[in-house]
Structure 1
Amino acid sequence: MDTNPSDRFLKTALIVGGGRGIGLGFVRQLLARGEIGRVYATYRQVESATELLEIADPKLDCVQMDITDEAQIAAVIARIQTQTAALHYVINSAGVLHEGELQPEKSLRHINSDRLLRYFQVNSIGALLLFKQVQPLIKHPDRSILATISAKVGSIGDNQAGGWYGYRASKAALNMFVRTTAIEYQRTCPQAILVALHPGTTDTQLSQPFQRNVPPEKLFSVDRTVSQLLTVIDGLAASDSGEFFSWDGTRLPW
């Protein structure tokens, strides 16, 4: 375990899904923060993580991981535990909206059970497995943040348009997992603040097929999105744990 006295007061971060998009943006911006001594970043495929793997920063530790595989998550946590006893930021940006034949459903006739399961495996269950495995690293007396990227379309109360069954439902399930885990964390990891975050429409590969009708002022760059979300994260209080926030800090309905 790392016991270098100069690192004693530095914070550590784990970014899941750091290979590209919003996750990569979090990696870059946290590395630039002086109080951050170590950033662990996971990626699923080497081919899609070239920008991450090209970052030459001694504070960065990259590791391949599939969030749908609990054994891989456990192995990453075990690796981190050999170097530190505490994580202060855990940010999960892994998610899927479209992937080959997996596309948002426009109506019930497009429903396919295997594709629905894929949405839930990546967008919901994977996050819950992460919450389960990361507990030993957030059972410390300092403030820690666990933030997972959700989506406003996962709000049941806000759903006025319909469609996108699998994505909407998997994000709604993610929100429930956040809320339920936050309640348990109050007992097991009392200094941890767990939240779901809506990033807004961000110019990433995930949103590219759906940007046509997005007004330019509502399509955010990755840098802007991450800056906005970090502002929300920095302002969180213990009473905010288990809540669902938009990029501007407003609370979203479940």
Structure 2
Amino acid sequence: MSQKTVVIIGASGAIGKALVNLNLRLNNQVVTVSRETLSISHPLLKKYQSDYSQKSISEVASLISRVYPMLSTITVCNGALHTQTNMPEKRIEAFDIDYFSTLLHINTMTPFMWLQAFTPHLLSTQTPCVFTALSARIGSISDNQLGGWYSYRASKASLNMLFKTASIELQRRKCNAKLMLFHPGTTDSELSKPFQNNVPEGKLFKPEFVAQQLHSFQLNRDFNGAIDYIDWQGHNIQW
């Protein structure tokens, strides 16, 4: 199997770190982006830092594209569910504009800014590239039967719409890329920690399992111009 070059954004999180370690074991060239410097060292690992401002994202993506012109996958692992002051809303009265704005920035704007920044690379490269963002089943409008969690649902639904819209444009522009939105299930991470007591037995996944599932799906995408919105089993999710 030939060596691949993969970009992992949000590499300091649970799923991001698991993806880094998995790809290093596979002897792939791994390019990471995170706020903090990763403690991992490896000859095949190149680390970049970003404050996730639009200017920083644009500069880092441009630099990576110049240094590594043949990217196989770009995976954005950034995401948030709760903050130090807010938890998901159970009632309309709990809706808080600052909490909503924070989730929109992290869950929606940040992944889309990375897609925007890498678009010149995706349009110019001859290497098929899978661009993945972590979404969630809770972002499905048609699947919403329980209500609640207003800000998180809306931030993921917005992410889905932006990526769906981008996939139509990129297909029209004959881009050699595949967009994928991936629902990892409930992963053992800081994001899910306050809610793990309510997770059914066998449904709390280790980051290593999620990374392996995601990697396997990235290897087997159909470059048909359509976006894939799938879960950790590879099943399609309703929009």
TM-score tier (shorter): over 0.9
Partner of 1:43: 34
Amino acid at match of 1:43: S
What amino acid sits opposite 1:155 in the alignment? Answer: S
- State the shift of 1:128 in Å: 1.3
- Within the candidate set 197, 208, 212, 2:197 is matched to 212
**Match for 2:7 among 1, 10, 14?**
14
Of the three residues 233, 242, 253, the one matched with 2:218 is: 233
The answer as to 2:237 corresponding to 1:252 is: yes
Looking at structure 2, the residues matched to 12 and 189 of structure 1 have their Cα atoms a distance apart, in angstroms, of 22
Deviations 1:24-55 (A, max 9, x none): 11111112223x2x2111112x3xx6xxx221
Is 1:135 equivalent to 2:119 in the alignment?
yes
Aligned-pair CA distance for 1:158? 1.0
5+ long unaligned stretches in structure 1: 1-8
**Deviates most, 197-206 or 69-78:** 69-78
With over 3 angstroms needed to count, the CA separation of the structure-2 counterparts of 1:206 and 1:173, relative to structure 1, is same
Give the aligned residue type for 1:32.
Answer: R
Q: Residue 79 in 1 paired to residue 63 in 2?
A: yes
Match of 2:137?
Answer: 152
Query: 1:204-234 CA distances to partner (integer Å, 9 max, x unpaired)?
Result: 1110101111123111101111111112222
Aligned pairs, how many?
237
Contact kept in structure 1, 2:168 and 2:225, CA below 8 Å: no
- How far apart are 1:178 and its partner, in Å? 1.2
C-alpha contact (below 8 Å) 2:71/2:127 kept by paired residues = no
* Structure 1 residues 15 and 105: alpha-carbon distance in aligned structure 2, compared to 1, 3 A threshold: same
- 1:127-184 C-alpha deviation (Å, 9 max, x unpaired): 1111110023223122110011001111111111111100000000111111111111
Distance 1:191 1:210, change over 3 A: same
CA distance in 1, matches of 2:61, 2:165: 22
**Which deviates the most, 56-65 or 90-99?**
56-65
Q: Give 1:199's aligned residue.
A: 184
Find the counterpart in structure 2 of residue 6 from structure 1: none
- Give 1:185's aligned residue: 170
Q: 1:32 aligns with which of 25, 28, 36?
A: 25
> What is the TM-score with the length of structure 1 in the denominator?
0.88
Instruction: Tell me the equivalent position of 1:23.
Output: 16
Distance 1:134 1:189 in 2: 15
Q: Which runs of 4+ in 1 moved over 6 A?
A: none
**CA shift at 1:19, angstroms?**
0.5
Cα deviation, residue 189, structure 1? 5.4
Of 83, 89, 92, the match for 1:108 = 92
2:171 match: secondary structure: helix
List per-residue Cα deviations over 1:57-79 (Å, max 9, x = no partner): 11111222233x11110121132
Distance 2:18 2:233 in 1: 17
For 1:41, give the aligned amino acid.
T
